[in-house]
Chain A
């Protein structure tokens, strides 16, 4: 999957909200890309734009392309994109209680995409549904097909949602904060399950999260978003070891250190995230940035690879080079 220069806006009474301002990324087969950012940074809107899941209007995708299997997903009609949603691209939402329908049995909800997309008969779909529930670690799967979502606990519900997303063997799985609503011990179970499933099934995953710890634990690559822009994009080790955008660096510093005794003050980022109603002409992070120069307020830096000549990519959108301590060209 290749996303290029995606721009999404919302038309509201107060004006145009610039939610996503030119996001580009590639997703190779079997890769896990973590998208990290605060609320309102455009993580979810980006991913929902890919599958045209946003209500339009008020939302409008004003530019960009999403290449998937040689098709531009953004040019498809509503009936055409339906063949991709759930079939080739699975989606897991944040809250398992609201993404499952309370009045249908879990079995029905897993079998629905199987019969719709794969053309299975009822009995085939049933067998596959049992297989899927066993895959995501739900005990006595066959008996639980006739249960309703409220009869499952939070962690089990999220497993069901994952089973539905996996039902048609998608090539890409988009997970929008799938563990945020869960407790840490249950989150650990789900993360373990995802690690395991990746080994078995090998699909590519886009994992949206605001928890840097979760991203560190499962991602291959990380994209950091701020104010509707991607500000840094690199391998997971690189992002955490040598962050090159002031926002990423500051974000890592605000966390209490692992293994520290406490006592010392936390470093904090002053100020507020940007208001997206203003058309982005300057660097979105500039008002809160401790390295800002005049140029940051006049011109928004583009995401550029800073790893000259090397195979790895480490893209940063910043005029200031944190490593060398000087301005970039």
Chain B
């Protein structure tokens, strides 16, 4: 495919420089009640995140449903007006951009959605779905546009003759490929993948993950890969952030995190994932958490995990742990960050 522009763009930038930087990102959704619809509180879906994403890397974001993973991804792309904090994309603060300025940023960051059935308009042909971003941003028209659509379909491993078909004629895995082609249409640098494989069958998941990795290598893409599938995260991510109730509790390079998890929640999460090997399953010790995730409208005081934490002490209920670095680190990329009073 002709990704000349993207390619040269990626080449001119050093791999590993910071592409996206987030500091104290907050996204609260107001709760209205009563006849007068007065604001009575807020769901603190994302409540103070600090992290950065380097060019060309895949940052994995894991957590249970309702912990704010998707909200975080959408807030990064400014699909919401965020409540507070800073999002720096290539040195430019995009947290407060509005109107035309924001619109001009859009082509550089795109999103791949979870449900390929829901994210494609059933009344549009595949060709017009993929061409829509090109029309919208007035990138290409006429024969050039058609050529581009066919290139995109080829790039995601589909037959370019399919442009006149409708989404219902395709299987789940193929629909996800169409969603990926649409996300690639504007040659973005940064893509938020929001559970791109969760709705697919096991035998199809591997196909889509391989495609995403190939595209990344080819076009120098940067991914934020949101998933609850820890096995897949371990496979695809360079660094992993673990979220719980609107906060990142631990962030480390993938090898370090899986070998040496420090936060009690991370440990519990890892131990809860079933391993497809009966021998390991029979032997291993499990940390079974009690209860459920508390409501983000009314998070517990102190450490947010204290209500379910198996090792919590009094301090955990009283004060919120600081986001800090653990131990010695060689270079910037090896940082192991955590928010826990007891670790380290």
Contacts and interface: CB of A to CB of B under 8 A. Distances in A.
B274 A266 contact: no
Contacts of A183: 64-65, 228, 293
Interface string B61-103: 0001100000000000000000000000000000000000000
Interface stretch (B8-16, B40-48, B207-215, B321-329): B207-215
A216 B273 contact: no
A186 to B, nearest CB: 7
**Which residue among A191, A214, A236, A272 has the maximum number of chain B CB atoms within 10 Å of its CB?**
A272
A26 B40 CA distance: 58
A302 to B, nearest CB: 23
A178 B56 CA distance: 39
A216 B203 contact: no
Interface in B227-283: 228, 230-232, 234-237, 254-255, 268-269, 271-281
Contact of A270 (B207, B209, B231, B268): B207
Contacts of A266: 206, 209-210, 235
Given A250-B203, A268-B203, A270-B207, A184 B272 contact: yes
B276 A240 contact: yes
Contact of A192 (B64, B275, B288): B288
A187 B272 contact: yes
Interface residues on B, range: 35 or more
Nearest to A253: B206
B171 A213 contact: no
B6 interface: no
A213 B231 CA distance: 11
Interface string A215-229: 111010000000000
A268 B210 contact: yes
Nearest to A271: B203
Contacts of B213: 265
Given A185-B64, A185-B269, A256-B235, A265 B278 contact: no
**Which residue among B171, B209, B232, B274 has the maximum number of chain A CB atoms within 10 Å of its CB?**
B274
9 contacts: A183-B64, A183-B65, A184-B228, A188-B288, A215-B276, A240-B278, A269-B207, A270-B207, A272-B204
Interface of B: 64-65, 171, 173, 201-207, 209-210, 213, 228, 230-232, 234-237, 254-255, 268-269, 271-281, 286, 288-290, 292-293
Given A210-B201, A211-B274, A258-B280, 6 more contacts: A185-B268, A185-B269, A185-B272, A213-B275, A213-B276, A216-B277
